[in-house]
Structure 1
Amino acid sequence: MKRTIIATVNNTSGVLNRITGLFARRHFNIESITVGITENPSISRMTFVVNVDDHRSLDQVIKQLNKQVDVLKVRDISDEAIVARELALIKVVASPQHRGELASLAAPFRASIIDVGRESVTIQVTGDHQKVEALIDLLKPYGIKELARTGITAFKRGTKKSVFEGSRYSIIN
């Protein structure tokens, strides 16, 4: 089963290596990983998508991660309401006569052409995993020259319900 794990950690050298080492020792395949600083430059946020066989071994890894000195918080957010996005840059073979077609294919995905070369165009798309995969599948017949993906970054949604009353907007958790 696929699980999404988030961790906030101190932004120090070697943290990523130690954390991925824990996953490797448990024989978890990390399908994607994203890491970046948060609103506080001394703290980084990591998002892992991993395939696991059972919850017990995942719980064990989360407990071990929480014991790491530089780890501040670890959570499995797979079963929660989350916002998740991925970015892909796709360089596609494109003669001048096919560029209009490619722009038309990209439009429904809210993707954009960010670079044009003599024999190729580069398309940028952001969205959930299925959206990115769907666009890639549509572009394959044209010939994908190069593909770069960020992996999924995610966090828990802030609210479950919002209410608008006249001029007041309130959020109910």
Structure 2
Amino acid sequence: MKRTIIATVNNTSGVMNRITGLFARRHFNIESITVGMTENPAISRMTFVINVDDERGLDQVIKQLYKQVDVLKVRDITDEAIVARELALIKIVAAPQNRGEISALVEPFRASIVDVGRESITLQVTGDQQKVEALIDLVKPYGIKELARTGITAFKRGTKKSVFDGPKYSIIN
């Protein structure tokens, strides 16, 4: 089963290496990992998407993470209300005569063209994993030259359910 785990850790040298080594030694496959500094420069947030066989394996992962000196907090947020996003850069084959068509095709995804070459364009898209996958599938027929994805980064939603629908913002109790 796929699980999303977040960990806050001390922002020190070698922490990511020790934690990914822990996953490797226990034969857990990391599907994606993102790491970045938080609002406190001394602390980093790590988001893992891992595949585990069962709840026992998940419990083992969490217990092993807590044994690491630099780990401050670990949480499985898979079944919680979360905000999760991924970034992808997609370089596709694009002759000048196809660029208008490609631009119109990616517009509903709110993707943007961030680079234009003689025979290619590079798209940037952010969103949930399904949105990113859908755009990749849509541009495959043009020919993908390069693809880079950040993996999921996530955190728990606030206590009230927030809905953002374009320019209007509302809070639902």
Fold in common (TM above 0.5): yes
Q: TM-score, normalised by structure 2?
A: 0.92
Matched, 1:124 2:127: no
For structure 2, the residue ranges without an aligned partner over 5 or more in a row are 163-169
Structure 2 counterparts to residues 1-173 of structure 1, below 5 A: 1-161=1-161
Q: Distance in 2 between matches of 1:161 and 1:60?
A: 32
Tell me if the contact between 1:30 and 1:48 (Cα under 8 Å) persists in the aligned partners: yes
Read off the aligned partner of 1:3 and give its amino acid letter: R
CA distance in 2, matches of 1:9, 1:71: 4
Percent identity between matched residues is 86
Q: RMSD between aligned alpha carbons?
A: 1.5
Distance 1:12 1:142, change over 3 A: same
TM-score (normalizing by structure 1): 0.92
How many pairs does the alignment contain?
166
Residue deviations 1:67-112, cap 9 Å, x none?
A: 2110000000000000000000000000010000110111000000
Give 4+ residue runs of structure 1 displaced > 3 Å after superposition: 169-172
Cα deviation, 1:92-142, whole Å, max 9, x if unaligned, reads 000010000110111000000011111000000000000000000010000
Aligned residue for 1:7, secondary structure, equals strand
| CA shift digits 1:1-33 (9 cap, x unpaired) | 100000000000110011111111221100000
* CA apart distance, 1:160: 3.5
